[in-house]
């Protein structure tokens, strides 16, 4: 079987399993290999010390898996209608859409492991493979761009002309010889809506994020108190932020997800602030069980909710 035939087989199997996009990148140095070191040196990573580790594998997956030849990159759409502001039962906070439903790490990994299993049966030949979903020391967006999934937008997220940017990424790193896809050209043009919409001015320039100012970082990664100047601009976000995606023209016509496990209920997408501030440990664990929202500790949720309470009613941006 040729590399092209294997690649076609991979993509056909991915479609059958419900993956919204699938592309192939060669295992090798990422295009912007020198950017990571410069970005880390500025301090833009904030307290995310783990990003300083394993830089070699982030630049080239073969530093971690020397046998790697190809990277299969898949995307799963999680786009869905806004659930915020649907009730009059009290002030609610907002949660980034990616965390409304079941934990994407589990769902996407399940799909990729099923794909890997199907390939073992279809190819009839042994091969090495490793599934990655947002926890390995690799730069997924660079691999996605190299695999033709989309291009990296000015807000540093991967964009696709039809899917927009509300999708998860996952990878299968393998020693299979596969035909790589062509990278997608940048279609952002002169648009800067994402940069201008950021409430905390987290983008010092296009394609560069200062995570220390990003609402997602502040609500999920940052421990301790949040600077008052930044807290005042966080609106009612209590976990993550969707503002720079919500204003993107490509997301206005993006399709809704067909994966039921990603769909959320009101209390997951927009929990009552009074409920959050009164959680005990058991209530916190119940709320985040099986969800990506477990990334933030209970005291961080309470801190974020108190900030949301102090901020003026009515969000300044987003969905």
Closest C-alpha to 125, from 75, 178, 73, 65? 178
Closest C-alpha to 46, from 211, 178, 177? 211
What single-letter DSSP state applies at residue 186?
P
Distance CA 40, CA 50 (A): 11
H or E element at residue 141: helix 140-146
Strands 129-132 and 151-152: unpaired
Coil, strand or helix at 254: coil
Distance CA 274, CA 289 (A): 20
What single-letter DSSP state applies at residue 176?
S
Of the residues 134, 175, 267, 275, only one is catalytic, namely 134
Question: Is 134 a catalytic site residue?
Answer: yes
Cα of 233 vs its chain's centroid, Å = 22
Six-digit token pair at 269? Answer: 């997408």
Distance CA 167, CA 180 (A): 21
Six-digit token pair at 109? Answer: 């990994």
Distance CA 113, CA 232 (A): 43
Coil, strand or helix at 181: coil
Cα–Cα distance list, 229 to 92, 155, 219, 225, 311 (Å): 22, 22, 15, 12, 12
Distance CA 286, CA 284 (A): 5
Q: Rounded to 5 degrees, what are φ and ψ at 304?
A: -65, -40
Q: List the catalytic residues.
A: 134
């Amino acid at each position: 079987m040729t590399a092209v035939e294997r690649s076609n087989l991979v993509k056909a199997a991915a479609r059958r399993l419900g993956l919204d996009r699938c592309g192939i990148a060669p295992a090798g140095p990422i295009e912007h290999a020198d950017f990571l070191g410069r970005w880390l040196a500025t301090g833009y990573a904030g307290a995310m010390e783990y990003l300083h580790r394993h830089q070699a594998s982030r630049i080239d997956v073969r530093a971690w898996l020397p046998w790697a030849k190809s990277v299969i990159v898949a995307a799963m759409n999680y786009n869905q209608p806004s659930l915020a502001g649907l009730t009059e039962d009290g002030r609610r906070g907002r949660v980034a859409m990616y965390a409304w439903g079941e934990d994407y790490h589990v769902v996407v990994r399940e799909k990729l492991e099923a794909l890997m299993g199907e390939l073992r049966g279809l190819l009839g030949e042994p091969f090495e493979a490793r599934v990655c979903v947002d926890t390995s020391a690799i730069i997924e967006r660079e691999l996605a761009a190299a695999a033709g999934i989309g291009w990296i937008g000015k807000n540093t997220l991967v964009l696709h002309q039809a899917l927009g940017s509300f999708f998860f990424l996952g990878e299968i790193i393998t020693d299979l010889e596969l035909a790589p896809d062509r990278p997608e050209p940048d279609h952002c043009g002169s648009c800067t809506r994402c940069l201008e919409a950021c409430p905390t001015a987290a983008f010092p320039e296009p394609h560069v994020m200062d995570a220390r100012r990003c609402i997602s970082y502040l609500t999920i990664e940052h421990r301790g108190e949040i600077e008052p100047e930044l807290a005042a601009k966080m609106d009612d976000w209590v976990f993550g932020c969707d503002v720079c995606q919500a204003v993107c023209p490509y997301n206005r016509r993006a399709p809704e997800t067909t994966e039921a496990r990603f769909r959320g209920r009101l209390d997951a997408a927009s929990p009552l602030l009074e409920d959050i501030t009164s959680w005990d440990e058991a209530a916190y664990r119940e709320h985040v069980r099986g969800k990506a929202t477990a990334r933030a500790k209970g005291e961080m949720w309470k801190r974020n909710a108190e900030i949301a309470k102090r901020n003026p009613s009515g969000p300044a941006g987003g969905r």
